[in-house]
Structure 1
Amino acid sequence: MTTISSLAFSKIEPNSIVSLGGGSNVFNLVKEIATHPEYNLNLYSPSELTIIKCKELGLQVKPIQEVDEIDIAFDGCDSVNYQLNALKSKGGIHYFEKLAAQKSGQYILLLPKKRIVPTLSNKIQLCSEVAFDSRIQILNLCKKMNLKAEIRLDQAISDYAYTKNGNLLIDVYSQDWKNISDIDQILCSQNGVLSTSYFKNLVTSLITMQDDNAIEIKKGDLK
């Protein structure tokens, strides 16, 4: 049986620059990488949690901001459609994850097959990282577009959830995401919006499970 992590590892060349995002499948890949020190990889990550987990396994990993070009990047996602456009919303670090995607020659998502859908799941929000002073403007804009929008709260304390950049996260919900590209474009054009969790034309392939074996799905494979 081929696993997601083993197939992902097979795509890594020795001495290459690799970005490791978040999620259980990526962490399984981290454990695989830790058993192959002879590959002499240069590792980076957009996730502080992944950096901590890597260090626990003896791997040296630097923040994604410290590298200009990446050979191959691996990440998870919440939902991805047949065109390989993805929503990466729940973790709230999409600004840094998008940096990794844009810097990478290959940006590969590792995920369960149930998250691969014809149209992005409306159960997954479109998350925007927004400057504090722009929050009311964005909430009002979403209301005008008949979208539900709410500022994400911190799960540990009674306050808003703030990003590493010091901004708020505004979660936007729609009855469906058929027009997500247009909605995303409008949001991104607003003053104070740093980034959104919609990854359009950034994913090069998916690795998932089918019939007890890992497979790679590339753009154009899904109809």
Structure 2
Amino acid sequence: MSAETDPVKLMKQQVGYAAAQRVQSGSIVGLGTGSTTAYAIQAIGERLQSGDLKDVKGVPTSFQAIVLARQYGIPLVSLDEIDKIDVAIDGADEVDPQKNLIKGGGAAHTQEKIVDCLADQFIVVVDSGKLVDHLGSTFLLPVEVLPMAVTPVMNAIRKLGGSPELRMGVKKAGPVVTDNGNLVVDVKYDRIDNPKELEQTLNNIPGVLENGIFAGVVDVVLIGEVKDGQPIVRDMEHV
């Protein structure tokens, strides 16, 4: 089955394209990480090439975003060069009804959080399988940790009621290393009742750089679904 006929890929593409349509000329755009966001980056690039968009610059959240932006002709700027981000587009691994997120499946959540939280408008693009009643239902919580602190951080997390394990590489011997040169500890919680509180508590453990809870920062959630074999996109506000 090709990408053109695979309904799931088509749906991810349409969600990414719907987010890209919200980008306006003259804006600074935070470029997120992941498969759905990749389609948004592609669509922004296509709008620039066609002349539909002008004078757009991207702020990448990962090596993946840098590579895609270059591939699709989006000029990049660093946070040193700008004083604001107009809109950020990014994916998520879980979204709860209050629009809190778990991110970090791609181990880029630290840079994503810096960029996404700076944006005037933060748009999340997901498929309906990412919607949960409460965070921690389906996905482990990623915590980025300085390598020397992995053991004490894991001990501290256990005392807080989480079950941590070091994320190991696929097609790589040893642990996953982030774009920042750190390690990722994935933590199992039965349920996360107070995301904002847990986000702050984990970040206060010495050696923790950032965790994958994004509480209270999302403005818009665009959800892709396949209904009767057809991809559709809806806004979480209008269920």
**TM-score relative to the length of structure 2:** 0.83
What are structure 2's unaligned runs of at least 5 residues?
1-10
Counterpart position of 1:216:
235
- 1:109 — aligned with what? 124
- The match for 2:150 is 135
**Residues 1:198 and 1:172: Cα distance change in structure 2 (over 3 Å):** same
Q: Deviations over 1:54-113 (max 9, x none)?
A: 222333334556544100000001001000000002111111000111110011110101
Matched with 2:162 is: 147
Indicate the percent of aligned positions where both proteins have the same amino acid. Answer: 25
Q: SS of the counterpart of 2:107?
A: coil
> What are structure 1's unaligned runs of at least 5 residues?
none
Alignment correspondent of 1:92: 107
Match of 1:17 in 2: 28
CA offsets 1:131-157 (integer angstroms, 9 cap, x no match):
122212111112223321011122233
| C-alpha contact (below 8 Å) 1:128/1:170 kept by paired residues | yes
2:165 maps to 1:165: no
Distance in 2 between the 1:62 and 1:166 partners?
Answer: 22
Superposition CA RMSD, Å: 2.3
Q: Aligned pair in 2 of structure 1 residues 92, 6: CA closer, same or farther (>3 Å)?
A: closer
SS at match of 1:109: strand
1:32 aligned residue (19, 25, 43): 43
Aligned length: 220
TM-score between both structures, scaled by the size of structure 1: 0.88
Can you list the C-alpha shifts for 1:170-214, whole angstroms capped at 9, x where unaligned? Answer: 111112222444333321111111111100111111011355432
Partner Cα distance (1:105, 1:114) in 2: 27
Distance in 2, Cα, partners of 1:217 & 1:125: 23
CA shift, 1:166, in A, is 2.3
| In 2, Cα distance between equivalents of 1:84 and 1:146 | 24
Q: Give the match for residue 4 of structure 2.
A: none
